[in-house]
Amino acid sequence: MGSDLVSIHSKQEQDFIVSLITQNTWGIWIGLYFDFSTESWKWTDGTAYNYTNWAPSEPTGSEYCTHFDGFRDYMWNDMPYRTGGFLIH
């Protein structure tokens, strides 16, 4: 379809995206992933990783996809890629 998962670069963007969510949900995937070849976090659209909103104790370092955690004020949580959830693109 030619789209990417959402990338977030400021608190204002984070707040805007959260305002679009109509129900409190556990997992909504965003486009942040851990690139093991460079050992760094990257956005799927290639934009700079210049803002974070990780939940306390996150990222754990053992998982490499990221979602909004609706039960922790939509802070970010790293998760295994095989976990279900919704997409924002």
List the CATH number of the domain containing 66: 3.10.100.10
**Overall number of domains in the chain:** 1
**Which residues lie across from 54 on neighbouring strands?**
76
Asked if residue 66 is part of any domain, the answer here is yes
Alpha carbons 89 and 39: distance in angstroms, whole number:
25
- For residue 81, what pLDDT is reported? 66
Domain contains 2: no
Q: Is 6 among the domain residues?
A: no
Residue ranges for the chain with pLDDT beneath 50: 86-87, 89
Residue 3 falls within a domain, yes or no? no
Nearest to 70 by CA among 33, 32, 31, 17: 17
27 is a domain residue: yes
* pLDDT for position 5: 87
The reported pLDDT for the residue numbered 16 is 94
What pLDDT is attached to residue 86? 46
* Residue 58 maps to a domain: yes
- Residue 34 included in any domain: yes
Q: What global pTM score does this model have? A: 0.83
**Phi and psi torsions of 41, nearest 5°:** -80, 140
The rounded distance, in Å, linking the Cα atoms of 8 and 83 is 21
Structural domain of residue 51, as residue ranges?
A: 11-87
pLDDT for 80 equals 79
* Percent of the chain that is helix, strand, coil (3-state, to 5): 15, 30, 55
